[in-house]
Amino acid sequence: MASTLLVPIDGSPMSWRALEHALELAADGTVVVFHVIDPADPGYSSATNVDVRTEPPHGSEAWYERAAEEEARLFEEARERAADADATLETDSEVGEPAREIVDYAEANDVDHVVIGSHGRTGPTRLLLGSVAELVVQRSPVPVTIVRDRDET
């Protein structure tokens, strides 16, 4: 039975590792690469280094255009990685709070499994920023695999 794997990406090394893992798991299934543009994130919801002093004002039309460009770049890289693995994938996106949008997408679509990278934040950073992966695990209607750095304990 073919399955559908949802892989949220933000361009971080762990999201790429999650995609690689999903491509290995997906044999005859479908991989959906999913990106969320978070209006609360001045950095376009991606791992790109952004100097907010030189970027368009956060929340402006120009900011959303730049976020869409960044998303297109992420999707193109995902397609290239899938082609290298001799696999195909679908892409989709939403605007909103990442954990909520990931869970909502899994609920509203025929998703069998979520494969998500974790940045492995700990201590005060995790308390302040939360963990998208942790929230997805707690709320997901389907199984979730968290891909972490091999060096983490």
Both tokens of 3, joined, read 């399955």
pLDDT in tens, 59-87: 788 888 988 999 999 999 999 999 998 88
124: pLDDT strictly greater than 70? no
Could you give the CA distance from residue 116 to residue 92 in angstroms, rounded to a whole number?
15
Instruction: Kindly report the average pLDDT of the chain as a whole number.
Output: 84
Sign of CA dihedral 102, 60, 44, 35: positive
The predicted pLDDT at position 26 comes to 85
Triad 131, 67, 99: Cα angle to 5°: 25
* Total residues found in the chain within this entry: 153
Query: Which of 1-15, 55-69, 78-92, 107-121 tops mean pLDDT?
Result: 78-92
Among 29, 17, 46, 35, residue whose Cα is nearest residue 111: 29
Domains of the chain: 4-147 (3.40.50.620)
